[in-house]
Every structure is written in structure tokens, then in C-alpha cells.
Amino acid sequence: MIIMRNPTDEDILKLLERRMKAASEVEEIVKEIIKRVKNEGDRALEEYLKRFEKYPLSVRELLVSEEEMAEVSVEKDFIETVKIVIEDLKEFHQRQKETSFFFTTDGGSFLGEMVVPLESVGIYVPGGKVPYFSTLLMCAVPAIVAGVERIVVTTPPDEKGKVSPYILKVCEILGLKEIYKMGGAHAIAALSYGTETVKPVDKIVGPGGVFVTLAKKLVYGDVGIDSIAGPSEITIITDGSIPLDFVAADFLSQAEHDENAMSVVITTSKEVFEKLPGVIEEHLQSLPEERRKTAEISTSNFGIIVFTDDLKRAFEISNLIAPEHLEILVEKPFEVLSYVKNAGSVFLGRYTCESVGDYGAGPNHVLPTFRSARFSSGLRVSDFTKKIFVTHFSEEDFKKKSVLYSRMARWEGFEAHARAVDVRRESL
């Protein structure tokens, strides 16, 4: 664990750069995977399936069959819970829907913008260590609300070549039928460029580990992506008014996700600064073995506790980190909300742990990481739509304004543009 007292901006940035460098070390491997899948299709994909997946599937076994779907069995409570969460997510995301608009100018021109759903989207659902059915919900619900017709799901299979029954049941409830048993960079490449077996999509959404995050970054431009949603991050700002057990539990809620997860506490309380490491250790030792091992590694690498004398400075440090999740565990959280400039999602007050956001309070949990919250937002309905401009220029407006456009074209040096306007004006 890294302990810092009144760090400078440079101190913080050095830590963040170290984390980014650790993630980028596999970039050349990811580039090669993408290149080969793009150029060789199923042949390369099959090689990577055997090399990276827990179970050596062939491309013929990738698509989840109707028989596999029919065999899915989960607890009744799971189905009831998921249906409630779906309705809560729909209520939130329905409010994000944008509408087309059109208007007519005084001169009779017709102008506007059409909001059109994407034709196809691929959802990456992490599944290497635990079944992230909550991520499937977060990605699929806004896509459904947006009206996307083809929604593809890809997720790593387990040691027996099977997809988690929880993930498959969520797919069934949501009506999703195209589900592939593959993960990692090769899955991103297959969805981006297509193979003989996998039909490509227009956009890929969903978080993943380092390989997935880098792959999404590298294919962007050939397909759309949501954001750089990689290993989990949390920053907790506390003034000492919240029990240490709350802070420690929330700190570890992200540390247990991934060895490269980052958990940060920024506090203005000397008591918290001095006692929290011990409380975190107590909570850490009480976790189940597999989760404890993951959390121990991430806490050792990127577990950070920061003391600062001033609450405003705490937010300055947080804004520099631009965390995926920001918990504001202070006595009067709404009074300091305006200090937040960079964060994927903000959680206010003692009862709003990050977990309520992960599991369906309403806002999406697919969020920007690696400081990309400085310029991007969490997954939303608009990520599954595009806007198409519409213009119909009237004769009256053309007579009035066309000379302006031919002048502008010539000022920029584009004579053919100007003539395209002039030839119409001359015909009037």
C-alpha cells in the first residue's frame, strides 16, 4: 500500500503513469492478435481460442446453441431480482433518450437532425474470474432502449467450455440470442473485423482487463467503442465522519476486481490516515481466498491512502486522478458536489457505496478509466445512437444566401465548391 502525505500533483501523476505503463506493456501482443484475426479470420481466431481460453473451443463451438440455452437453470430469486433491476435501469435510461428535431426557416428551408439507433452492437462481458451478469445488464438495457436491432454478446467460457448460467439467463430475459463463447483481444478483433464465423458489429461496448481495453483502443476508428473502460478504480474522499469500516469495505470493493485495480482514499482526518491501513488489512483477511489474493495484489500495487489538510485540495487531487468511481463520504456531501470536475460516477453519503451503482440503482456502471473521465462519460443511451443531419434548402433561402457560400468557398481556395453554388444561382 502506498501512503502519501500532502502529495504534489507531480507525485500523483507519477503514480498514474506507472499504472498506465504497466497496462501498456502488452500492447505489442494485442496488436499482433488484432492484425492476425483481421487478416486470417477463423484460422487465427481458432489458434487464439486454444491458446488463451480456459477451454480449447473450436470456432464451430463458439455460438451458444438453443440446446445450451434450454438447459439453463438458476435460482428463482435470481430471475425475480434481475427483472426488478432491469425495470430500474430502464427507468433511468429512458430519461436519456434524445429525439429527432426538424424546423422550417422563414425562407422555407427544412432543416433537422434524425436520431437513429445503431444497426449492430457487440457487448463484451468479462467472465474470467466471476460471471459479470451485471455488466451485461448495464450494456444491454440502454442498447434496447435505444432500439438497436442486433445485439451480440461475447464472454469467456469456463473450464468446461460453458458460459455462466447467470449470463445466459439474463440474455434469455432480455431476448438476446447471438452469444459467443470467447474473450480477450481476439474476441474484440473478431467483432471488429468479422471472420467466417463471426459477423462484425458497428460498435463494441463493455469493460475488460488490460488485453480487452487495449484491443478496444486499437480497433477504434474501424468500429466505435464506448470508452476506455479497463481495470476498476475507486477514489474515496472522507473527512472522518464516516465509520472506518465503511471506508475499508468500499476500498476493497474495487481491489477485489482485478490485480490492476486502483483504490484510493483521500482524507482530511489524521485518525483515518493513521488507522485505515490496519482496518483495511482486517477486512482483507476476512475475504474468501480467491478474492483476497486478487485484492492483496491490487492493494499492494495501486492501493493509495492520501492525507491532505484541506478538503478542496482533496478534490483537486481527485480531479487529477479522474477516477472511474468517486465516493464522497463527508458530513455534508451535497455542499461539495460542485468541486467535482472529473469522475465517471459520483456516490454521495454514507449509504451510497459504489456497490449500489454496480448492481442497479439506475446510472450505468460501465465507466471511463485511466483518467479518460477527463473527457468522456459513462455508458448511456446516446452511445447506441447516431445523429444524421437533414437539409432541404428552399429557392428563397438559396437566392438570399448562396452568394455567401460561394464567397466562403473561394476564400478557402475551393473553386469547384463555389461553382457548384454559382451554377445553381445562374439558373434562377
Torsion, Cα of 88, 94, 96, 102 (10° steps) = 180
All residues at 6 or more sequence positions from 24 whose CB lies less than 8 Å from its CB, including other chains: 214
Binding-site positions read: 232, 254, 257, 325, 358, 412, 417
Q: Where are the beta strands (DSSP E) in 239-316?
A: 262-267, 303-307
Binding-site positions for Zn(2+) read: 254, 257, 358, 417
Nearest CA-CA partner of 215 in 240, 186, 236, 257 = 186
All residues at 6 or more sequence positions from 281 whose CB lies less than 8 Å from its CB, including other chains: none
186 is catalytic: no
68 is catalytic: no
Q: Which of 53, 233, 256, 324 is catalytic?
A: 324
Distance between CA atoms of 73 and 426, rounded to whole angstroms? 73
Distance between CA atoms of 126 and 287, rounded to whole angstroms? 21
Distance between CA atoms of 408 and 396, rounded to whole angstroms? 20
Q: Which of 256, 325, 327, 354 is catalytic?
A: 325
Distance between CA atoms of 217 and 199, rounded to whole angstroms? 20
Nearest CA-CA partner of 315 in 294, 279, 292, 346 = 346
What is the set of active-site residues?
Answer: 324-325
